[in-house]
Amino acid sequence: QVQLVESGGGLVKPGGSLRLSCAASGFTFSDYYMSWIRQAPGKGLEWVSYISSSGSTIYYADSVKGRFTISRDNAKNSLYLQMSSLRAEDTAVYYCARDPSITIFPYYYMDVWGKGTTVTVSS
CB of 84 to other proteins, least distance (A): 19
- Measured between alpha carbons, how far apart are the two ends of the chain, in Å? 40
Q: Which is nearer to other proteins, 6 or 29 (CB)?
A: 6
Q: Which is nearer to other proteins, 15 or 105 (CB)?
A: 105
Rounded to whole angstroms, how far apart are CA atoms 52 and 99?
9
Rounded to whole angstroms, how far apart are CA atoms 97 and 93?
13
Cβ count within 10 A of residue 54: 12
CB of 123 to other proteins, least distance (A): 27
The contact set with other proteins (CB under 8 A) reads 35, 37, 44-47, 50, 59-62, 95, 106-111, 113-116
Rounded to whole angstroms, how far apart are CA atoms 69 and 82?
5
CB of 42 to other proteins, least distance (A): 10
